[in-house]
Amino acid sequence: MSAGPTCTMSVDRQGVATIVLTNAPVNALHPDVLAALQRLLEECHGRSDVKCVVITGSGKNFCAGFDIAQFAAQSPDKVKESVSGASEILTRVLEEGSKPTVAAIQGVALGGGCEVAAACNARVATPDAKIGLPELQLGIIPGFGGTQRLPRLVGLQTGLELILTSKSVKGSKAHSLGLVDEVAQTPQQLLAVAKAVALDLASGKRKRVRTLEREDRLEPKDIAKMILGIAKEQTKKRAPNVMHPLLCIDAIEAGILKGGKAGLAAETAAFNQAAQLPAHKALVNIFFAARGTKKVKGVSDGTKLSVPKRKLQTVAVIGGGLMGSGIATASLQAGMSVVLKEINQKFLDAGIQRIHKNLESRVKKGRLSEDKFKQMMSRVKGVLTYSKQDFQRVDIVIEAVIEVVGLKQQIFKDLEEVCRPDCVLSTNTSTIDITVIAEKMRNPERIIGAHFFSPAHVMPLLEIVRSNLTPPDITRDLLRYGSMIKKTPVVVGNCTGFAVNRVFFPYTMAAMLLADAGVDAFRIDKIVQKVFGMPMGPFRLSDLVGGDIGQHVGANFIQSFPERTYGNANGPLVQMNQKKWLGEKTGRGFYRYDKGEKKRTKMVKDLEAIGPVFQESRRAAQQLGVPHLQGVSDRDIVEMIFFPVVNEACRVLAEGVVEKSKDMDIATVMSMGFPAYRGGLVHWADSECGASYIASRLQTFASMFPQQSGFFVPCEYLLHCAYKGVPLSQGQSFYVSPIAKL
């Protein structure tokens, strides 16, 4: 049985005390671990048989930092007290105590873990240890002295870069940067090397250094000021909607200008300020949401399933287009073999060429060796037919052909004939009901959705779609495949559009409706991107996806949900598709895309060309009773676009299409680029708006658009939450939908 969060200590015959941070699985710094560390260090300083101290972590990791669960479990005041108290102890007892201290780093030393190591008088790491300060990703700043000690170890420029990008470095790189003093070639040698360094420090053979007092790695003050000024400007541009990165630079600056101790005080103040900001709560929500998706009730929550885990070595990808080649690339990178099926040699060659290009670009960026690249390409086999010889060895199939139901039905009928009965058969459809695709199969329960996002080898989300027939072992093994290819999987129920595209369609339709009501499309894009923080506005996104695809997918939703969709038979997409203005791929859509210098695309607002398209669309919209709006504020635009999106998310929750609201949060961040610092769609709706405000605004919008009121009318789930005063994230616990599918 695990001892719970603590530290253990042993003292060897040479007088080296080894303190082991213990809190499985990553030795997070729970307050009990910090208290035990202080107690044992004080004991060491008082014992005559102890000459020096080595700090290490239990198991494979040194320490992943402060216990993030505390941010959710404790009041902000308690957390602040814990962090500032520990910061003081790390300086007084770890760095300045009477006995020298050495960190022995294996696995991860992140956040507070890196800061504990930086406060020691020396550091030894294994070559592939992972060291860094990722606190900014959690909406806080390093609070155990990291803003002061990291720049003093590696220089201001490098320290700033590591902190502001949340990047970690490997042990060997950390050594070359000056962050660690020695590298132990193997984990087995780590303790011995660390102990030797500690004894050298104790005997005076090595000079004992207190990081906080160091100045030797810091740039001269005038240069440092310049570096800080540039960092501030760049940060304002890169992250205009959040404050904590600037608070972090201020704390670093205080230390550079006034010395380490003053810097520590500034850090504590800045940490406390950041911890109060909504972005912190939001980003902690995202941290746990991303990890919670893997635990699915009755599948991967510890439930024992009778069907053993499948071996997942060979994947067959049906279709070598953009999506198929991306999926094949991700599978090859995970060490799998790939059978790529196409309908003719020309398409097959093009598919293999795409895989080649995807992997080659990693080689060019230095992320893949030439040897590994060749090995990966040798594991691809292109085929033109469904032969038993090729398909009997396949463990998982992913169909990635165009969205034509009949074609997909035939493919699964054929696959069932040639694949082993235990092979996972999955479809990458983005919208079609998977039970419809399975209609011609003998065993329709075998089909499962594996919805990737383009480019599939880059985008982190995998939507796993199960129907009420899907056996849990198939879901479990697709989840395992998702982990192998390093995706965040979200398991969802079966319906048109599943979870992600269900919330995408009101997003684009709301933008089209607003433009038809006279609001400038370019203004909408600007507000959604600059003010709200999406990576791009809905019209720019439409150009990226392609107007033809947008219209096709939109039609699917209009057919499935006619009572709550908006369509205009002469809308901009329809007109532009007729002119073959399909977006970026044809050089023209809502924007014009000119070839600039060095093959860079230049995006131009061509009002002369697009103006008449909107005029024509608005004329048609008037016939549909779309009002002409005036005096629409930026806030109105945000609410008219995002509240229908929240409304649809409520329906998704009510129908049980997602198991928990956090799944919706992480899915929106990873698919549509919903700002992570807003915590995902439902977290944002709850924390920044509230169910009753959203419901009342939607009712107002519905009355402003009487002919399109269905698009805005709040759904039952949203009204329930508003009426009962419960957050949308908790509505599932009391709301029972008559159409719950799972």
Ligand X SMILES: C[C@H](O)CC(=O)SCCNC(=O)CCNC(=O)[C@H](O)C(C)(C)COP(=O)(O)OP(=O)(O)OC[C@H]1O[C@@H](n2cnc3c(N)ncnc32)[C@H](O)[C@@H]1OP(=O)(O)O
300 or 329, CB closer to ligand X? 300
Q: Which of 662, 349, 740 is nearest to 491 (CA)?
A: 662
- The residue (of 92 and 413) whose beta carbon lies closer to ligand X is 92
Report the nearest approach of ligand X to the CB of residue 69 (Å): 5
Q: Is 370 one of the annotated active-site residues of the chain?
A: no
Q: How far is the CB of 30 from ligand X (least distance, A)?
A: 8
Q: Count of alpha carbons within 13 Å of 250, Cβ hemisphere only? A: 16
- Whole-angstrom Cα distance, residue 339 to residue 320? 10
Judged by CB, which is closer to ligand X: 275, or 418? 275
Q: How far is the CB of 81 from ligand X (least distance, A)?
A: 12
Q: Given its phi and psi angles, is residue 487 left (phi above 0), alpha (psi -120 to 50 degrees) or beta?
A: beta
115 is catalytic: yes
Q: Which of 43, 88, 96, 115 is catalytic?
A: 115
CB atoms within 10 A of CB 249: 23
Please, what is the minimum distance in Å from the beta carbon of residue 110 to ligand X? 4
Sign, Cα dihedral of 485, 489, 492, 497: negative
Closest alpha carbon to 475 in 485, 418, 467, 496: 467
- Closest separation in Å from C-beta 665 to ligand X: 15
Residues 6+ apart with CB under 8 A from 463: 449, 450, 451, 489, 490, 492, 498, 499, 500, 667, 671
- Give the C-alpha distances (Å, rounded to integers) separating 260 from 113, 146, 257, 408: 19, 11, 9, 64
Residue of 81, 88, 135, 215 marked active site:
135
The nearer residue to ligand X, 197 or 479, going by C-beta atoms, is 479
Give the nearest residue (CB) to ligand X: 111
Q: What is the spatial distance between Cα 357 and Cα 506, in angstroms, rounded to a whole number?
A: 35
The strand pair at 52-57 and 101-105 is best described as: parallel
Choice between 108 and 117, CB closer to ligand X: 108
Q: Decide: helix, strand or coil at residue 365.
A: coil
Q: β-pairing, 461-466 with 447-452?
A: antiparallel
CA distances from 687 to 70, 639, 727 (A): 19, 15, 9
Are residues 9 and 55 in contact, defined by beta-carbon separation less than 8 angstroms?
no
Q: Tell me the closest approach of the beta carbon of residue 114 to ligand X, in angstroms.
A: 8
The site for ligand X (CB under 6 A) is made up of 25-26, 28, 64-69, 83, 108, 110-112, 115, 134-135, 138, 142-144, 146, 291
212 to 220, 225, 256, 281, 514: CA distances (angstroms):
17, 19, 11, 30, 56
Give whichever of 95 and 135 is closer to ligand X, judged by the CB atom: 135
Minimum gap (Å) between residue 87 Cβ and ligand X: 8
For residues 290 and 355, which CB has a smaller minimum distance to ligand X in the complex?
Answer: 290
Cite the active site residues.
Answer: 115, 135
